[in-house]
Amino acid sequence: MSPSQATTATVFDVAQIRADFPLLARTVHGKPLVYFDNANTSQKPESVIEAVNAHYRERNANVARAVHQLGEEATTAYEGARDKLAHFIHAPSRNEVILTSGTTQSINLVAYSYALPRLKPGDSILTTVMEHHANIVPWQLVAARSGATVKAAPINERGELILEKFFEMLTPDVKLACVTHVSNVLGTVNPIREIARECRKRGIPLLVDGSQALPHRPVDVQVLGCDFYALTGHKMLAPTGTGALWARRELLDDMPPFFGGGEMIREVRFDGTTFAGIPHKFEAGTPNIAGFVGLGAAIDYYDSVGFEAIHAWEQNLLAYATERLREIPGLRIFGEAKDKEPVISFLIDGAQATDMATLLDLQGIAVRSGHHCAHPLMQFYNVPATLRASLAFYNTREEIDAFVVALLKVRKLLM
Ligand code: PMP
C-alpha 42/C-alpha 242 separation (Å) is 13
pLDDT at 64: 80
Catalytic residue numbers read 373
33-91 tens-digit pLDDT: 999 999 999 999 999 999 999 999 999 999 987 789 999 999 999 999 999 999 999 99
pLDDT at 88: 98
Mean pLDDT over 147-162 rounds to 98
**In the structure, what pLDDT confidence band is assigned to residue 9 with cuts at 50, 70 and 90?**
very low
- Long-range pairs for 160-163: beta carbons < 8 A, 24 or more residues apart: 160/188, 160/337, 160/338, 161/128, 161/130, 161/188, 161/190, 163/191, 163/194, 163/195
pLDDT > 90: percent of the chain: 95
Q: Which of 221, 199, 283, 211 has its CA nearest to residue 92?
A: 221
Tell me if 244 CB under 6 Å of ligand 1: no
Mean pLDDT of the chain: 95
Distances (CA, A) of 288 to 102, 140, 241, 294: 11, 28, 7, 10
pLDDT at 11: 56
Q: Which of 212, 237, 242, 295 to mutate to test the pocket of ligand 1 (most atoms within 8 A of CB)?
A: 212
Q: Which domains does the chain have, with CATH numbers?
A: 3-32+306-410 (3.90.1150.10), 49-303 (3.40.640.10)
Q: Which atom of ligand 1 is nearest to the CA of 183?
A: 3
250-288 tens-digit pLDDT: 999 999 999 999 889 999 999 999 999 999 999 999 999
176-211 tens-digit pLDDT: 999 999 999 999 999 999 999 999 999 999 999 999
pLDDT at 415: 81
Q: Reduced to 3 DSSP states, what percent helix, strand and coil does the chain have, rounded to the nearest 5?
A: 40, 20, 40
Tell me if 322 CB under 6 Å of ligand 1: no
∠ CA(178), CA(173), CA(188), 5° rounding? 25
Tell me if 239 CB under 6 Å of ligand 1: no
| Calculated CA dihedral for residues 236, 242, 248, 253, nearest 10 degrees | 180
335-380 tens-digit pLDDT: 999 999 999 999 999 999 999 999 999 999 999 999 999 999 999 9
CA 311 to centroid of ligand 1, rounded, Å: 21
